[in-house]
Amino acid sequence: MVSIRLIGVMAIIPTAILLTISLFVLLALRKVESEGLRAFGFVVAALLWVSAAIIFGAGVYTMATGRHPVMNMMRHMGGAMNQGPMMQHRQMLNRQ
């Protein structure tokens, strides 16, 4: 099984992809003459940078602590799902 800490290293891939896309957005903005479209492009580039920073930060957090925030959330949701009506129905069917 892959260590949780190694999952943090994998955050480099989406971070690099988002930064590459933002580079192409900024390069395309050099040829745009409309101010409205230029402002929209800068907003898109900024959102891509923020997204890359969040993903990279989550990867660093995972490598430093050994805990992945999304996996912890899914584990808690799974516990709640095991108490729902569908799980009770499955348990009832298994008894028969």
Locate the domains of the chain by residue range.
4-65, 71-96
pLDDT for the residue numbered 88: 60
pLDDT for the residue numbered 6: 79
Per-residue pLDDT of the chain (96 residues; tens, 9 = 90+): 467 777 788 899 999 999 999 999 999 999 999 999 999 999 999 999 999 999 999 899 888 887 777 776 777 776 555 555 555 656 666 666
Contacts 24+ apart (CB under 8 A), 62-69: 62/4, 62/5, 62/7, 62/8, 62/11, 63/5, 63/8, 63/9, 64/8, 66/3, 66/4, 66/5, 67/4, 68/4, 68/7, 68/8
pLDDT for the residue numbered 79: 56
